Structure 1
Amino acid sequence: MKKIQSGLITLLAVMLLFSCNPKNHETDSPTGFTLSESDLPDYEKNIDHKGLLTALDDRHDESIRTGEHIYNNICFNCHGNPDQVGSIPTAFKFWEDQFKVGNDPYSIYQTLTRGYGSMPPQVNLTPVEKYDIINYLRETFIQKENPDQYFEIDSTYLASLPAGTTTGPAPKEFKPWAEMDYGNFLINTYELVGLNPAPRERSTGPAPLKDENLAKANFAYKGIAVRLDQGPGGVAAGKAWMMFDHDLMRVAGAWTGDGFIDWEAILFNGKHNISPRTAGDLHFQNPVVPAWANLTTGTFDDPRFTARDKRKFGPLPREWTHFKGLYQFKDRVILSYTVGTAKILETFGLETVENQPVFTRTLNISPSDKSLKMRVAPSGTSVVLVGEGATLKEQGGFTVMEMAPSKPIKIKLLLGKPGMKGLQQYTKTSSPPEDLDPLIKGGPARYPQKLTSEVSEGTQEGPFQVDIMNPPFDSPWKNQFRLSGLDFFKDPNKGVICSTDGDVWLVEGFTKNSGKLTWQRIASGLFQPLGIKVVNEEIFVTCRDQLIKLHDFNGDRETDFYESFNNDHQVTDHFHEFAMGLQTDKEGNFYYAKSARHAREALVPQHGTLIKVSKDGQKTEIIATGFRAANGVCLNPDGTFIVTDQEGHWNPMNRVNWVKKGGFYGNMFGFNSPADSTEKGMELPLVWVDRERDQSPSEMLWVDSKKWGALDGKLLNLSYGYGKVFVVPFEKIGEQVQGGVFELPVPRFSTGVMRGRFNPGDGQLYLCGLSAWGSTQPQLGGLYRIRKVDQPMVIPVGIKATSQGIELNFTDELNAKSVADTAHYTVKTWDLLRSRKYGSKHYNEQTLTVTKATLGKDKKSILLDIPQIKPTWGMEIQYQVKDYRGKDVVGLVQNTIHQLGEGRE
């Protein structure tokens, strides 16, 4: 079978919506396509659609196999099949749903090519591949299971298709996640397996999915994979590796082979409900238990939190052992941790005995006030010791290294497969244990190149202009640039940006307006960074396994020490538990949000929580619970927080939550959720954001710029799902905050928008974004600037719900005559059903009558009398009025009402 171009797998955790016009083969396609004709590659304008369709008869079996491969690797996660519901249960079901507009092959091809509604354009699929997946869907699902939706192809239809002379570029294999140079280490959750591993156990069925029996699996939940052999390309291009687990301070194992891992993970090849496995020959491995004996008891008993499935998670107690971080020197990785009072530096290496690999561990250990004991490897593994001050013995099925309280120790362990010959003799010629101190003071830059990218200034009409500041996608390290956080230094021309692929970039050129940005890669190999913050000119990064502080010792700006500022994170193997965002309060405490498991009950207390880390990094505290997929955190002026959440199980729609300490926010699959699953048992959101407005809200922020005029001090919500920015008008009645969202009049971004910061130098809003797990947008990553220009906005920034009706407050004055016409308003309401099922449709939809509309005394307020008004899950207010200049003002506010205030006098 031909190779499949599968680079877009990471783009497609979305709901496919095949909606286009089967009768329209003109160049001007129906409204709703994401890409216009001018956005498409030139070859798309000359495709022989008739030839591609008729060729399917000759290559029928190959086409079906190829289409099946694409479906299983790209579409199945979200759509599932007739026997198994996909991860997004509302996604289109080809075997039973009705196509909204078009079901013929060319219409589906147009949707794949250009995107429509929630369906992003499939920019990496070739025309041949697109027709292969269409062929597979038609024959496998539609014709057999959904025959009413099957379109018969005949000569008349083929003759109606656009004529062309090419079939487009040939398919090729494309795996950007496996081709990227991550540096010589990559932190992730890994499962260590040997050759010919057993198939993975994966639960299916209705939510909550049952826990698999993974007690015997060797997961390094906070695994630091280190490449040992020499050569370019980083860890992904290696042939030999060791894995260090910084929860347990153990070497989890060592392996060799032609492939690093199988890349099965949501942020690699897009797979849900899975963690990557090692690929190749596993030479030795250690179980998921502490490597160093408890200095008080002398045992290896594991005292950590025990989850419902009997596994243990989180780091060992600090007084026992604690991970301090890792140093980078050229391609060397030096780990730093403590055991009791002993400070340890450790590095790994690779040597050879009779053409067989020998894995080395070099340890520099400071004096300890107590004896130390470490499990090296299971009995039978070939292990020898080089150096003085330690001894090896067999104990409890392991080779154990013991060290008496003494002066500093430098030793080297040599490890090989069981039965390796010549290892003891080799100790006479192997180099002595290395002094690691010279390697922790900073080394030469590993990424000396400074890359540049162009700034494309926007010239849009209206109050906002958008500048595109795309990263240098042609980097020598093949970075994907899925940007996930940004912040600025005191010099506002400089900033730092992290990507979820593990990088941190120093970027310059924000405010000097030279038309270019300079990018320097200053850190790499981190575990899914999704938040970054500059505090007193020091860089902190939220990773899934720890909060990291970056140190540059020699002034080249590149990170020499990745300090584990706080690693209290409880990490499991589940793909969904992202650590999102990073903010600090006035006292210097840090805050981030941790997502829960998707379609499963929580295993650890941190699942689905807002988390506080003390200023010194020594203490972690859970502030609020009950979140499902909390994408970042916003600190409010009154000391409370805002955390968004995503539609899903127990979330009938997206939520914007005004969070107070100790609050529970609705996810009954959380850890120790309250017994009351009704709305009374949870804190209510500021607004239920309908999926028509946004598929996935991300982080919120307060406008902090006088240049933004009447929006200064107002609240913004960023859209990961649709690449938008919203203003959030709200009010507070008693203790309840309620309000809505209004989309800013700016073009939809080509990525989902994750994070935003106002630059104190130019007063404008900078945004970064990515497409990885559910955005409808086609571009992997992007950087943007929104500039407020001197034009009226006429944007609703305030909302009040009273027993009399709705009051909307605008940034600019309005025309009284146009406001007074009640025909200019449409108000709809609906209810939602909150349950363990995924999401909710609208119930009890109603259109409310506006009996009177009045312009307020400030000439910026619209007062709508709505006799039928009452609390409602969802409300949509559409208006079409004129501003003080006589220009049309058309808009839509979508809001929620929990309580009605007092009516106007």
Structure 2
Amino acid sequence: GLYSFGPQTVISYTVGETPILEMPARGAAEGRGVTAPISARMLRIGPRAAALTLLVATHADRQAKLRVSHVADGPRRTDVALLSAEGPGDRPRGVSETTTIAAGVLPAIPRAVWKGTDDGRLLLTIPAGNEPLEFTVWHTRSPAANSERVLAEVAWRSFGTPVNFEQFTRGGPRRWPAILTTRISLLPGDGPFAVDVLAHPADNPWLAQMRFTGLDFFDDGDTLAACTWDGDVWLARGLKGLAREAKPNGAPDAPVELAWQRIASGLFQPLGLKIVAGKIHVTCRDQLVVLHDLNGDGETDFYENLNSDHQVTEHFHEFAMGLQTDDEGNFYYAKSARHALPALVPHHGTLLRVARDGSRTEIVANGFRAANGVCLNPDGSFIVTDQEGHWNPKNRINRVTPGGFYGNMFGYHDRTDASDSAMEQPVCWITNRFDRSPAELLWVTTERWGSLRGSLLNLSYGYGKIYVVPHENAGGQWQGGMCDLPLAAFPTGIMRARFHPHDGQLYVCGMYAWAGSATQPGGLYRVRYTGRPVHVPVKLHARRGGFDITFSDRLEPAAAGDARRFALKTWGLKRTANYGSEHFDERPLAVASASLADDGRTVRLELPDIRPTWCMEIKYSLRSAEGTPVNGTIHNTVHRLAE
């Protein structure tokens, strides 16, 4: 991991079983015909059972020769290693006969050995030992011959004072001392949901963009942590004020203040955050990192690399998305594949499980393109979305089981059968007009959301919406669809959400980067259920000759029994190596009759021509039991028809 101390960074790692601390430094040599920058690595190497070899530098001329010069200045003694391109011959551009790499160690290490290799590398072998060593390795590129004494003097002057590594590993001064305050005016909603804008300090002293990509809550109920796509982590304190001043309908009397603190920076495109045992864990493109505050000032002093098994290439599209844990403490996230290109590394296009202690990573399933997050199901399976693209005709929601293959032939796997029957089928295909880019899903686990408890929700980065996902298990194959929750679209793309463990309401965050319709850079919100009826579908059941829709709340029987209030159509897709798919064989599906079941919530549609279909649209215009309009659209998939 990395220790952060003001402008200094200490790298912590191991070689075999040997712990090592390393801090970079720099200096400059000037005088006696020598002008050169000097790079240095200040090191503390722990006990080592075997000798260690350090790569110090590489000469551009692979035929460079090594010469070691002993330099003494009173009690100060060191060896300077010089790797030089000597004599005539063809060389790389910019390398002359006198180009020399000079390097040294301060203080001198007994029995350390310099070595030059046949391919131009300069190595330093450090002997085995039971005691830790603290020293500095420096090197520079110098065009001047016989410059070792000048360079040694500069190195003694610049790096001769031993480094107190303990000072740099106990927590440093705050880098972002300002606590920024925002005010939130909360208003009661006039529908089943009210949305509270948890204002964030977009205008901050550091010009940091706040494009939120993950959030979670601390046990105190007052503080949340949120990460941003640009590499920061923030704390927002004051959530208890949302409940303390709440009226019976859930809206507080007076504005609530949130105190924002920037606590971490420099992370590589974080797209998931989870708090475990009071520690913030973040999914980054290069690692799963744990943030440690060592001195109690709130800021991160140590960035612990818990696991970095997933490999990184230069391709822009291979994001690491979402972060969840199971009951055993294992971590889960999805690793994207490359766009329009075959996979290069084993983790391209996979759902991954990381052991609780970070010791290993397992591939749970593969064949994904860009699965934006992960949801754990009560039965031990998973839900992930995927994005339209090559081998993926439209966006989709997948129920994932271990070992499954989900269709992307460009992913890393050994599958050669590109037929549709060779892949696991999704819960539903989602056409672009309905949701152009789905994000993460989550289950409604709180009683505060009334009749929606136990329902599955889907977030939309593309349109900034939240959908309910009614579904069924049709003989082992999950099938279902999506329908908007009755609330206005958010101004930013919604990426992640969690229910607050204390107030039971849904906190959502999001951002915009590209390929979305909700273009505000970022946002953080609370979605409150007001207690009013929701009237959204919570269950779908496809059967031979008909289709049943169960709503969250009671409906007016006359409207529910009027077949003219429903309009259905179906269409197909073609999965190929091309990007996406148009609609094929789009046609209306006639409704012979409609009726309302005895529960007052389930509408039974008789559809003589129903058959399995990749895509179906159901539009309805009904009334609630209280007489208010209930209008909506369902997009769904039917794989099997029950008898």
- Tell me which residue corresponds to 2:487: 746
- Tell me which residue corresponds to 2:249: none
Contact 1:589 1:615 in 2 (8 A): yes
CA drift of 1:415 comes to 2.1
CA drift of 1:385 comes to 2.2
CA drift of 1:395 comes to 2.3
Q: How does 1:47-446 map to 2 (within 5 A)?
A: 325-354=1-30, 356-379=36-59, 380-389=100-109, 390-396=112-118, 397-406=120-129, 407-419=131-143, 421=147, 422-432=150-160, 433-446=162-175
Contact 2:534 2:553 in 1 (8 A): yes
Whole-Å separation in 1 of the counterparts to 2:584 and 2:159: 74
2:510 is the alignment partner of 1:769: yes
- Tell me which residue corresponds to 2:77: none
- Tell me which residue corresponds to 1:462: 191
2:312 is the alignment partner of 1:571: yes
Contact 1:486 1:757 in 2 (8 A): yes
2:377 is the alignment partner of 1:636: yes
Give the superposed CA RMSD: 1.3
Q: Which amino acid aligns with 1:806?
A: F
Whole-Å separation in 2 of the counterparts to 1:673 and 1:854: 49
Whole-Å separation in 2 of the counterparts to 1:631 and 1:428: 52
- CA deviations 1:225-284 (Å, max 9, x no partner) are xxxxxxxxxxxxxxxxxxxxxxxxxxxxxxxxxxxxxxxxxxxxxxxxxxxxxxxxxxxx
Q: What TM-score, normalized by structure 2, do the two folds share?
A: 0.88
Whole-Å separation in 2 of the counterparts to 1:751 and 1:740: 23
CA drift of 1:673 comes to 4.3
Aligned counterpart in structure 1 of residue 225 of structure 2, from 471, 496, 503: 496
Aligned counterpart in structure 1 of residue 405 of structure 2, from 635, 654, 664: 664
CA drift of 1:428 comes to 3.8
Q: Which amino acid aligns with 1:416?
A: T
Whole-Å separation in 2 of the counterparts to 1:395 and 1:604: 31
- CA deviations 1:768-796 (Å, max 9, x no partner) are 00001322222111101100002111111
CA drift of 1:645 comes to 0.2
Contact 1:875 1:894 in 2 (8 A): yes
Contact 1:385 1:411 in 2 (8 A): yes
Contact 1:382 1:415 in 2 (8 A): yes
Contact 1:626 1:673 in 2 (8 A): no
CA drift of 1:460 comes to 4.1
- Whichever structure has more strand as a proportion of its residues is 2
- Whichever structure has more helix as a proportion of its residues is 1
Aligned counterpart in structure 1 of residue 201 of structure 2, from 459, 462, 472: 472
CA drift of 1:490 comes to 0.9
Whole-Å separation in 2 of the counterparts to 1:470 and 1:592: 28
Whole-Å separation in 1 of the counterparts to 2:17 and 2:372: 38
Whole-Å separation in 2 of the counterparts to 1:456 and 1:763: 20
Could you say what secondary structure the match of 1:430 adopts?
helix
2:279 is the alignment partner of 1:538: yes
Q: Which amino acid aligns with 1:506?
A: L
Could you say what secondary structure the match of 1:813 adopts?
coil
- Tell me which residue corresponds to 1:688: 429
Percent identity over paired residues: 49
- Tell me which residue corresponds to 2:79: none
Q: Which amino acid aligns with 1:775?
A: G
2:235 is the alignment partner of 1:511: no
CA drift of 1:459 comes to 4.4
2:527 is the alignment partner of 1:786: yes
Whole-Å separation in 2 of the counterparts to 1:449 and 1:535: 27
Could you say what secondary structure the match of 1:512 adopts?
helix
Whole-Å separation in 2 of the counterparts to 1:718 and 1:456: 25
CA drift of 1:425 comes to 3.4
- Tell me which residue corresponds to 1:108: none
Whole-Å separation in 2 of the counterparts to 1:449 and 1:569: 35
- CA deviations 1:291-326 (Å, max 9, x no partner) are xxxxxxxxxxxxxxxxxxxxxxxxxxxxxxxxxx01
CA drift of 1:462 comes to 1.0
Could you say what secondary structure the match of 1:457 adopts?
coil
Aligned counterpart in structure 2 of residue 678 of structure 1, from 410, 419, 422: 419
CA drift of 1:687 comes to 0.4
Runs of 4+ in 1 over 4 A off after TM superposition: none
- CA deviations 1:514-561 (Å, max 9, x no partner) are 522111111111111110101111111111111111111111111111
Flag the structure with larger Rg: 2
Whole-Å separation in 1 of the counterparts to 2:373 and 2:292: 25
Could you say what secondary structure the match of 1:381 adopts?
strand
Whole-Å separation in 2 of the counterparts to 1:669 and 1:730: 29
Contact 1:410 1:435 in 2 (8 A): no
Q: Which amino acid aligns with 1:361?
A: R
Quick check: 509-518 or 878-887, which moved more?
Answer: 509-518
Quick check: 416-425 or 824-833, which moved more?
Answer: 416-425
Whole-Å separation in 2 of the counterparts to 1:428 and 1:592: 48
Contact 1:640 1:658 in 2 (8 A): yes
Contact 1:463 1:788 in 2 (8 A): yes
CA drift of 1:435 comes to 3.0
CA drift of 1:457 comes to 2.4
CA drift of 1:378 comes to 1.0
CA drift of 1:451 comes to 0.9
Contact 2:332 2:352 in 1 (8 A): yes
Whole-Å separation in 2 of the counterparts to 1:458 and 1:359: 58
Q: Tell me the number of residue pairs that the alignment of Structure 1 and Structure 2 aligns.
A: 578
Whole-Å separation in 2 of the counterparts to 1:675 and 1:338: 40
Contact 1:545 1:571 in 2 (8 A): yes
Contact 2:189 2:530 in 1 (8 A): no
- Tell me which residue corresponds to 2:66: none
Could you say what secondary structure the match of 1:388 adopts?
coil
Whole-Å separation in 2 of the counterparts to 1:651 and 1:511: 44
Could you say what secondary structure the match of 1:427 adopts?
helix
Q: What TM-score, normalized by structure 1, do the two folds share?
A: 0.63
Q: Which amino acid aligns with 2:4?
A: Q
Could you say what secondary structure the match of 2:177 adopts?
coil
CA drift of 1:888 comes to 1.5
- Tell me which residue corresponds to 2:360: 619
Q: Which amino acid aligns with 1:424?
A: A
Whole-Å separation in 2 of the counterparts to 1:862 and 1:698: 29
Whole-Å separation in 2 of the counterparts to 1:779 and 1:538: 30
CA drift of 1:657 comes to 0.3
Whole-Å separation in 2 of the counterparts to 1:590 and 1:458: 37
Whole-Å separation in 1 of the counterparts to 2:524 and 2:219: 20
Whole-Å separation in 1 of the counterparts to 2:367 and 2:546: 32
